[in-house]
């Protein structure tokens, strides 16, 4: 790893030391440098962190490739049209993914550092000490510290899993050969995205999860996606318990129980996609008196402060939202608070989220269950996509929109979408929530006809009207 600015030794005193050179670390360092601070950005290993190297960027380009395959095969939904597609050269696809990752890492991380004179990049394993941070064997002094070391795939405690050459979200995207069959353990965001991607690449996929598919989302949305997965030939086992796992020359066997009934699942490979573990080892957190939660994540308050004075944390290493854009947002707040007096607070009330399955899932605000738990008397509107003109014209009516509102005030509280192009529609609802719109106001807003986002307007109108009785472009 290149030292973009050489360490200046014991005499250097930094205003801020940032441990971790991923999205959160860069956000904190650049924010602080823009404030005129002298910043030490400490990285260890490949610069750029999870998102650009092994997460968002590589997975989304591979998911798009899988969507291209499916799109050709699904062309027959239009009368008189047919199509087919297949993976001709897996090695070329992987190489193109690697080239994209390398290019973005260079342009968006490495090449940025010389543009900020206030940032000194230091390479080495870091740990806290009483005066600041030790990088390798070199102590540095810093007035404030931000920990942004990210996370890594976690492994569930399935008996025998330690003997299996399992895949994670990282190693799956580096496979040099496509397996014939794959068991995916975990029904969360990552598991759902990668399971469908591999199935569309021609792999026989079986997915198992302890509860339902995507337990974080509305039940109607989860049920719709499960149906879509099954229609594409994937096998789903939901609500199961794990008994054991083993591997031999024929492949992997996973023993589970469904409703008390034992089932043996067999496949060539096993993908573990059961969440993330924060990278906290070797940082000296316990010695520094920095509190962690049951998952091992650093606990931060609404100002991004840890339990130790003058030490902040941001991103996947914390107990906050595990999205790269929220990591960058939290890190920016941490830097500004560290330098300017803790006046800013973390606010995720209108944080949109997206799951890049096909159709895409997206949501913002409160679910129906969360709204009720918060004390609201709720009302909901569920609009199937077969009532949306865009979906009818595209002959693709997979999905729905669900809106949640306060029954008394008519105030919008949240909503979720499962639809092709759903990810590009959710920001409209985020803005509606941010500006305190009511159901009536959203329903009266002018939307362009034959767009997916028009489904939000129709869903809002559905609180008080039978939308099946509206003409095609009703205002």
Instruction: Provide the annotated binding site for NAD(+).
Output: 186-193, 275
Phi then psi for 140, rounded to 5 degrees? -130, 150
Q: Beta strand pairing status for 181-185 and 269-272? A: parallel
Other CB atoms within 10 A of residue 225 CB: 26
281-287: list long-range contacts, CB under 8 Å, 24+ apart. 282/125, 282/127, 283/19, 283/126, 283/127, 283/128, 283/147, 283/149, 284/127, 284/128, 284/129, 285/128, 287/128
Nearest-angstrom CA–CA distance, 198 and 218: 25
Helix (H) or strand (E) holding 386: none
Tokens describing residue 264 = 């043996």
SS3 state at 136 = coil
Query: Exposure of 87 by Cβ count < 10 A (0-12 exposed, 13-18 middle, 19+ buried)?
Result: middle
Residues annotated within a binding site: 60, 186-193, 275, 316
Residues annotated within a binding site for FAD: 60, 316
Short-list 315, 320, 316, CA closest to 332:
315
Q: Is 375 left (phi over 0), alpha (psi -120 to 50) or beta?
A: left
Residues 6+ apart with CB under 8 A from 154: 274, 275, 276, 277
Q: What does each C-alpha distance from 424 to 432, 451, 455 come to in angstroms? A: 15, 11, 12
Which parts of 261-309 are beta strand (E)?
261-267, 269-272, 276-278
């Amino acid at each position: 790893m290149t030292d973009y600015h050489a360490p200046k030794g014991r005499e250097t005193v930094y205003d801020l030391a940032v441990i971790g050179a991923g999205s959160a670390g860069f956000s904190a360092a650049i924010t602080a440098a823009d404030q005129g601070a002298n910043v030490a950005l400490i990285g260890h290993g490949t610069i750029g962190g999870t998102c650009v190297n092994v997460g968002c960027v590589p997975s989304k380009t591979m998911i798009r490739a899988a969507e291209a395959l499916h799109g050709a095969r699904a062309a027959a939904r239009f009368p008189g049209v047919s199509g087919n597609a297949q993976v001709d050269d897996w090695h070329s696809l992987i190489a193109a993914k690697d080239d994209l990752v390398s290019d973005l890492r260079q342009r968006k991380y490495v090449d940025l550092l010389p543009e900020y004179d206030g940032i000194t990049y230091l390479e080495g394993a870091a740990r806290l000490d009483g005066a600041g941070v030790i990088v390798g064997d070199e102590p540095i002094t810093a007035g404030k510290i931000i920990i942004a070391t990210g996370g890594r795939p976690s492994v569930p405690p399935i008996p025998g899993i330690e003997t299996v050459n399992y895949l994670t979200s990282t190693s799956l995207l580096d496979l040099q050969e496509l397996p014939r069959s794959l068991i995916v353990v975990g029904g969360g965001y990552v598991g759902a995205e990668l399971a469908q991607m591999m199935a569309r690449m021609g792999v026989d996929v079986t997915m198992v999860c302890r509860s339902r598919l995507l337990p974080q989302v509305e039940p109607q949305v989860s049920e719709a996606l499960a149906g879509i997965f099954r229609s594409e030939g994937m096998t789903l086992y939901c609500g199961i318990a794990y008994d054991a796992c083993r591997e031999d020359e024929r492949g992997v066997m996973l023993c589970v129980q469904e409703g008390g009934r034992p089932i043996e699942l067999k496949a060539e490979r096993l993908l573990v996609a059961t969440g993330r573990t924060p990278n906290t080892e070797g940082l000296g957190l316990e010695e520094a008196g920095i509190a962690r939660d049951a998952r091992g994540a650093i606990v931060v308050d609404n100002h991004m402060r840890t339990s130790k004075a003058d030490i902040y944390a941001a991103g996947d290493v914390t107990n906050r939202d595990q999205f790269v854009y929220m990591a960058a947002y939290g890190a920016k707040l941490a830097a500004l608070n560290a330098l300017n007096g803790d006046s800013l607070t973390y606010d995720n009330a209108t944080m949109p989220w997206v799951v890049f399955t096909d159709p895409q899932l997206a949501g913002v605000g409160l679910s129906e269950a969360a709204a009720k738990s918060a004390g609201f008397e709720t009302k909901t509107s569920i609009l199937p996509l077969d009532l949306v003109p865009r979906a009818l014209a595209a002959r693709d009516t997979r999905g729905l929109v669900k809106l949640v509102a306060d029954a008394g005030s008519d105030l919008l509280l949240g909503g979720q979408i499962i639809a092709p192009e759903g990810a590009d529609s959710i920001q409209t609802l985020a803005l509606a929530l941010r500006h305190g719109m009511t159901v009536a106001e959203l329903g009266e807003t002018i939307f362009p006809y034959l767009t997916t986002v028009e489904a939000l307007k129709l869903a809002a109108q559905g609180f008080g009207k039978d939308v099946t009785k509206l003409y095609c472009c009703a205002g």
